Structure 1
């Protein structure tokens, strides 16, 4: 692998372990989502209940990110990941019990999703310690590429696997994936001490008080405030995916095109992550955050012209490529600007804001689509995203970010190699 390629991160043993553990979990999660949809619909015959079960694989992450991510700052992060994985393995295995009441199934699912928040916060807080300098951005890019690819493959093959075995066996497969994740993390990740709190009282602050403290810290820091606002605005750029079905219907296309439209954004994300980190110099990336955030809305705005399917696919993929590129650098700069002792909580608050922003944007996009038409709604989402991002870009520029010195040094070493 070339020294200046994305593959350089795989030379770091701990990254290989964290990457493999997450890949196991993602593959199992996608299989479980399909299995749950099939299981719940098969029991109830209700599309509403199937949709509720699917939504429960996402929505509790909002609450978990707000209330539980601070655990990654109070305890050793490796142990937080292991405990969360073991607990999720047990709970998902329990979900596979035949004839388990529907309310119990949903309750277990909520807890499983909640436990994912401290696990993810601990994992992401470890990345800057495992990957130094510019390797950190490369690690985030690899994580984005593989997670998107795993989701695509998981959805594509999940139905076939569930049909070949059963929903219960598929859920047991997800439980095994969590157990494997715990094992590889225990074996391959160093046992670091718990983070030193930024303030003496930090470890004593939890729950809503901890969330409020985290929000105040972000709001009073010009750099992190601008970065988190830009990250939350990415919600406008997921509206097309939510409107894929009515958009395709407006073009007179069938279900096959719906799948292609929904795949356009993740495919663009994979390409954007690779191109941005592979070819854009480290010293330039932070300066492009605002420009790329605004540019991501332009392809969607062009949907007002009601292009055909091929051009729409290109526009949506281009938006996904640009939005992923700016979001990657936004996340990297945000984490670098956050002291290690409060990193888990800050990551949780920021991630929860992204989920909430996406939900709000999708809701508004759906309302606008009903009032007008899907193409107009997608175009408006692009315009609003670009205009609001322009304000965020100005705030980021005024914060006078500067390039991370450690990233420059690491880039110089890698380029010489």
Structure 2
């Protein structure tokens, strides 16, 4: 029985470069993801404004994630990835400059988050939709596990680098690390082959109508739709990320603990990814997805009950492992349902849910913390996640009953839906 992660996709040079670029650049992005909230909290002393950052990042994710998915289906995906990555790099350089100049402008930080979120939302559908074009079918599922494991290794390493930089409140060091590491994904994108639409029909531009067609397709697939719903529950109800700066300051002795709390999620995800060889043998992927989201919520609630740093880090690690495994199941279900002509648009929805959900969760956590306190917000969020995801699975059982062995794969063309 294969237990450890399958590295077969790394034999393909184009995918290997893309994977390296994604892991290295995402590590830098995680440094910034820690530094910006810490800088905002230091300026405002308010978890509410940290939560506002989440909302500021969600709006461009929603708009450009959906639109970017349609663009990825109609243009050369390599070109879309490269242009949007350059925009994101320029914003990182702006964050570096404002830190060096000591501007302390809340408005500027929010604008940077907005633009960078939009660029990320444009890049991600193209990057994810490129992968099936680089690999044979048998390597796609292992590539998902590799990508998720790499992402969680970044979630681990990036915050640790941020913690070292922020010990002396030197925000510019954090942003410099991000700017340097991000150059690797630019190199990877430049080395990719062209990835144009497969057919002339796919190259026709239909703008937001194309987005609507993608959403219509998704709504016709109940298993796919519910896989997104349970993730929305997890990220909007249970994610305690916006509370990390306040809890680190009030319970764990200073802002440097923020990086450890964020890194704990990455450490758990990395551990889960390294022993992910068994995931491909799970037949009831829908039930497994619901179970993992419930474990995530329970671990978050338990972490909120602790008053010592290392037990909290351990429990957040369990949450990170559950989140990583649930993510692989979601991506496997998505790959099963998505033909190439729809892949960019459905990846756009995936980006909105996966990246946008935590930002709504930031607002939820910050608003509840303002009225009930950070601990209550943290604990109630985890408990609420468990209750809601179990209720959703029982009320809408299509996902709960889904079996890979009994699936007809659901791969219908856009014309059959529209």
Q: Does 1:384 align with 2:387?
A: yes
Counting only pairs closer than 5 Å after superposition, residues 10-409 of structure 1 correspond to structure 2 as 10-33=10-33, 46=44, 51=50, 55=54, 58-59=57-58, 60-90=60-90, 92-93=92-93, 107=111, 110-158=114-162, 160=164, 171=175, 174-187=178-191, 189-196=192-199, 203-207=204-208, 209-235=209-235, 238-244=238-244, 254-255=253-254, 260-275=260-275, 277-282=276-281, 284=283, 286=285, 288-300=288-300, 306=305, 309=308, 312-365=312-365, 370-371=371-372, 373-374=376-377, 376-391=379-394, 394-398=397-401, 401-402=404-405
Deviation of 1:158 after TM superposition, in Å, equals 3.4
Query: What does the per-residue CA deviation read over 1:131-154, in whole Å, with 9 as the maximum and x for residues that have no partner?
Result: 334532322222222222223322
The TM-score, its normalising length taken from structure 2, stands at 0.75
Q: What is the match of residue 414 of structure 1?
A: none
Deviation of 1:219 after TM superposition, in Å, equals 0.6
The TM-score, its normalising length taken from structure 1, stands at 0.76
Change in Cα spacing, 1:392 to 1:366, as seen in structure 2 (3 Å) is farther
Deviation of 1:340 after TM superposition, in Å, equals 0.8
- In the alignment, the residues of structure 1 paired with residue 244 and residue 285 of structure 2 have an alpha-carbon distance, to the nearest angstrom, of 32
Instruction: Give the structure with higher Rg (CA).
Output: 1
Deviation of 1:29 after TM superposition, in Å, equals 2.5
Change in Cα spacing, 1:100 to 1:202, as seen in structure 2 (3 Å) is farther
- In the alignment, the residues of structure 1 paired with residue 332 and residue 132 of structure 2 have an alpha-carbon distance, to the nearest angstrom, of 9
Deviation of 1:84 after TM superposition, in Å, equals 2.0
Q: Please state whether the residue corresponding to 1:284 is helix, strand or coil.
A: coil
Q: What is the match of residue 412 of structure 2?
A: none
- In the alignment, the residues of structure 2 paired with residue 32 and residue 65 of structure 1 have an alpha-carbon distance, to the nearest angstrom, of 20
- In the alignment, the residues of structure 2 paired with residue 362 and residue 171 of structure 1 have an alpha-carbon distance, to the nearest angstrom, of 22
Deviation of 1:245 after TM superposition, in Å, equals 6.2
Report the number of matched residues: 396
Q: Does structure 2 retain, via aligned residues, the 8 Å contact 1:286–1:403? A: no
Select between 376-385 and 155-164 the one with higher mean Cα deviation.
155-164
Change in Cα spacing, 1:242 to 1:3, as seen in structure 2 (3 Å) is closer
Q: Does structure 2 retain, via aligned residues, the 8 Å contact 1:56–1:110? A: no
Q: Please state whether the residue corresponding to 1:155 is helix, strand or coil.
A: helix
- In the alignment, the residues of structure 1 paired with residue 360 and residue 79 of structure 2 have an alpha-carbon distance, to the nearest angstrom, of 34
The answer for unaligned runs of 5 or more in structure 2 is 410-418
Deviation of 1:302 after TM superposition, in Å, equals 5.6
- In the alignment, the residues of structure 2 paired with residue 141 and residue 301 of structure 1 have an alpha-carbon distance, to the nearest angstrom, of 26
Change in Cα spacing, 1:174 to 1:403, as seen in structure 2 (3 Å) is farther
Change in Cα spacing, 1:23 to 1:239, as seen in structure 2 (3 Å) is closer
The answer for unaligned runs of 5 or more in structure 1 is 407-417
